[in-house]
């Protein structure tokens, strides 16, 4: 199928974007990398009358180290996060997750802000944002506000973004040096959206895992923090009893829906396999 007809503008300032959003409301749609939007247009899942291309707006792209966070502009491409030495050093979880975002050709165009705004439940960046307690920076005609990732993702493809707002950046707090990170996912083929994925972090000392955080993707409508499993692992050494306690706890809080290829039970099983694998990595 082909996309329905639409008008196209390429504003050169945020002020212009805000005024076009105000004038056109729901009929206007931001386009950043186009890697999700164009597919929805071609499938006629979405029929905006106006596309607002934000690629010419200065200041929306780039990775900056601040005293308390790393700020990544909304227009920063997935590949720039993947290739960044600054990200590898200061936000290693993002460097670990980047190669799982689609294929390199898509990563060359797709943007961080687009992925955050789209809020696909199987996407890597929303999950990492929740895992790292990131803040989403939103701008509108009335100014700027920050929303914690845990509050930003509200439901399937639904976020806390209000009409007239756009994502301008994400801020990832600097983590303690002792924090360890692991990311992995299970997919039918490399580059496909994951069946189940997991961002894990924790500190490992004296044979014990502490401050464990587990955030799953692909198992619900939004990134899911597995607090019961975290509690089962906190301060424990990794042995068969701990794994079993974590697996049992996880089953009480993860309720994945079956998809075309996998039953809910299979997804649940894969989630616990992934959890065990990543906990072992954190403790290695």
Ligand X SMILES: Cc1cc2nc3c(=O)[nH]c(=O)nc-3n(C[C@H](O)[C@H](O)[C@H](O)COP(=O)(O)OP(=O)(O)OC[C@H]3O[C@@H](n4cnc5c(N)ncnc54)[C@H](O)[C@@H]3O)c2cc1C
Binding site for ligand X (CB under 6 A): 29-37, 39, 74, 101-102, 106, 110-111, 113-115, 117-118, 120, 123-124, 166-167, 193
Select 84 or 233, whichever has its Cβ closest to ligand X: 84
By residue count, the chain amounts to 284
Residue 103 neighbours by CB distance under 10 Å: 11
* Shortest CB 211 distance to ligand X, Å: 26
Phi-psi region of 157 (alpha: psi -120 to 50; beta: other; left: phi over 0): left
CB of 3 to ligand X, least distance (A): 12
Q: Measured at CB, which residue is nearest to ligand X?
A: 110
Q: How far is the CB of 160 from ligand X (least distance, A)?
A: 12
Cβ proximity to ligand X, 127 vs 272, nearer residue: 127
Q: Which is closer to ligand X, CB of 172 or CB of 204?
A: 172
Minimum CB–partner distance for residue 8 and ligand X (Å): 13
Tell me whether residue 32 or residue 196 sits nearer to ligand X (CB atom). Answer: 32
Nearest approach in angstroms of CB 201 to ligand X is 19
Instruction: Tell me whether residue 80 or residue 124 sits nearer to ligand X (CB atom).
Output: 124
Considering beta carbons, is residue 101 or 279 the nearer one to ligand X? Answer: 101
Shortest spacing between CB 241 and ligand X, in angstroms: 35
110 vs 256 by CB, closer to ligand X: 110
CB-wise, 107 or 213, nearer to ligand X?
Answer: 107
Minimum distance of ligand X from residue 224's CB (angstroms): 16
> Please, what is the end-to-end C-alpha distance for the chain in angstroms?
49
The secondary element (H helix, E strand) that includes residue 139 is strand 135-140
CA 46 to chain centre: 22
Can you say whether residue 124 is alpha, beta or left, with left for phi > 0 and alpha for psi between -120 and 50 degrees? alpha
Smallest gap from Cβ 17 to ligand X, in A, equals 9
């Amino acid at each position: 199928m082909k996309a329905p007809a639409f008008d196209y503008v390429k504003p050169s300032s945020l002020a212009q974007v805000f005024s076009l959003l105000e004038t056109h409301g729901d009929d206007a749609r931001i386009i950043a990398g186009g890697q999700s939007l164009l597919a929805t247009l071609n499938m006629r899942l979405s029929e905006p009358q106006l596309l607002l291309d934000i690629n010419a707006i200065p200041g929306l792209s780039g990775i900056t180290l601040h005293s308390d966070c790393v700020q990544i502009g909304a227009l920063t491409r997935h590949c720039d996060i993947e290739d960044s030495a600054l990200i590898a050093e200061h936000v290693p979880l993002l460097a670990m997750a980047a190669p799982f975002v689609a294929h390199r050709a898509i990563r060359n165009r797709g943007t961080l802000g687009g992925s955050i705004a789209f809020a696909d439940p199987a996407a890597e960046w929303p999950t990492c944002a929740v895992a790292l307690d990131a803040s989403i920076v939103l701008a509108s005609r009335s100014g700027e506000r920050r929303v914690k990732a845990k509050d930003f993702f509200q439901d399937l493809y639904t976020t806390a973004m209000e009409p007239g707002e756009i994502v301008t950046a994400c801020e990832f707090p600097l983590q303690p040096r002792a924090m360890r990170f692991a990311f992995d996912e299970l997919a039918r083929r490399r580059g496909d959206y994951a069946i189940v994925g997991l961002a894990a972090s924790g500190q490992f000392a004296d044979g014990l895992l502490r401050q464990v955080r587990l955030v799953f993707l692909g198992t619900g409508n939004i990134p899911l923090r597995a607090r019961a499993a975290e509690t089962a692992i906190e301060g424990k050494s990794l042995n068969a009893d701990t794994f079993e306690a974590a697996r049992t706890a996880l089953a009480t809080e993860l309720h994945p829906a079956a998809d075309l290829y996998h039953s809910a039970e299979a997804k649940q099983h894969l989630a616990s396999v992934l959890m065990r694998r990543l906990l072992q990595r954190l403790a290695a």
